[in-house]
Amino acid sequence: MNNFEIEPDIRVAETLSSDFYTDDGYFEESKRRIFARTWQVVGLESEVNNLMPHMLLEGFLDEPILITRDTDENLHCFSNTCTHRGNILVQNECRRDGIRCGYHGRRFSLDGKFLSMPEFEAAKNFPSERDDLRSVSFKTWKDFVFASLDPRDPFEEFIVETGSRTAEYDFERHELVERKHYLVKAHWALYCENFLEGFHIPYVHKSLNEVLDYGRYSTELFRYSSLQTGYDDDGDTSAQYFFVFPNLMYNFYPWGLSVNIVKPIKSNLTKVEYMTFVLDRSKLDQGAGANLEKVELEDQAVAESVQRGINSRFYKRGRYSPTREKGVHHFHRLISEFMDESNEQSRNVRHKKPN
């Protein structure tokens, strides 16, 4: 069986091969095939003052990009490398009326256009469009800024269901109260898989299980995302867990929103960044979102245990619970779709425009 062959019928399907998590070659290949072709959060639009440099998935993709806000308040996203010799243009967040390279003085406008360059009077066919900053695909959703190096599909296809299901949430009024990160000694996909099913809740999260009605817990699947909904004993929604492929989690609670961004570092090490937004402080200690730190540490312990286990000579693949692991199966199918050369080639044929 191909390492990336996932049977569409979950009732007979087997999981991804353990090689995907343990082989450094697959880890490196996922940079180009998965992460360069999807959309990554790079910051909050409200925090872009003028020039905001960002290293896209630092320690993994390591792509330097630059978000700018011009005099008309329009946002732009460019490569943060000078088109002369590749120097990093902006090292730290700052406010300027333009962009000037500190190496040889090449200047650019805030919309990325080449302006001037010392000692180039004798150069022929200069300047050209190649001297402008290279644009990077970006989109904004609510207050979040996303970028993609080589988007496989439009951003809207990834976020559409999250937006439609959260239309009543007051993004304008919530307040960012905390940023923090964790280092987890596990493959990035193992961390995501744990998030994508509520199957483990009665066994791993005793306190969370007490406030969620496990029997009503549901999972819905969309093209590039999924939604898990937890209910309390009265049948009211206690939590909505949105996953946007490949590594973004929006967790909505009665008190507000928690955002998890899963960032690969090594095949056995992952950085998870958290942003917490509060809408109603009076509900912070209630329901499924009452003790996120405890739940997070329990999840990390399980992911790290699985990381150790998949290295066993005796483990290769598992099976899915058709009732409880639809989200994991969907996630594996997407990984297969992106990682498998034959899947990509057949998709390109299907989407090729007629002459």
Residue 300 structure tokens:
């990390």
Amino acid making up residue 38: T
Give the pLDDT confidence score for residue 1 in this predicted structure: 58
Give the pLDDT confidence score for residue 2 in this predicted structure: 76
**More confident of the two residues 352 and 229:** 229
Tell me what percent of the residues of the chain surpass a pLDDT of 90. Answer: 92
Q: Is the pLDDT of residue 346 over 50?
A: no
Q: Mean pLDDT, to the nearest integer, of 41-53?
A: 96
Per-residue pLDDT band for 3 (boundaries 50, 70, 90) equals confident
* 328 three-class SS: helix
Q: What count of Cα atoms within 13 Å lies in the side-chain half-sphere of residue 68?
A: 24
| pTM for this entry | 0.93
153 burial via Cβ count (<10 Å: 0-12, 13-18, 19+)? middle
* 174 three-class SS: coil
Give the pLDDT confidence score for residue 35 in this predicted structure: 98
Per-residue pLDDT band for 342 (boundaries 50, 70, 90) equals low
Tell me what percent of the residues of the chain surpass a pLDDT of 70. Answer: 95
Those residues whose C-beta lies under 8 Å from the C-beta of residue 96, and which sit 6 or more positions away, are 50, 51
Q: Is the pLDDT of residue 292 over 50?
A: yes
Per-residue pLDDT band for 344 (boundaries 50, 70, 90) equals low
Set out the domains of the chain in order of their start, with CATH numbers: 19-37+154-342 (3.90.380.10), 40-139 (2.102.10.10)
Mind listing the pLDDT tens digit for each residue in 296-312? 999 999 999 999 999 99
Give me the sign of the Cα torsion angle 203, 205, 211, 212.
Answer: negative
Give the pLDDT confidence score for residue 355 in this predicted structure: 36
Per-residue pLDDT band for 45 (boundaries 50, 70, 90) equals very high
Mind listing the pLDDT tens digit for each residue in 204-247? 999 999 999 999 999 999 999 999 999 999 999 999 999 999 99
- What is the rounded CA–CA span in Å between residue 25 and residue 35? 15
Residue 112's beta-bridge partner residues?
none
Q: Is the pLDDT of residue 352 over 80?
A: no
Residue with token string 């399980």: 302
Which range, of 80-84, 134-138, 153-157, 337-341, averages the lowest pLDDT?
Answer: 337-341
Whole-number mean pLDDT of the chain? 94
Q: Is the pLDDT of residue 348 over 60?
A: no
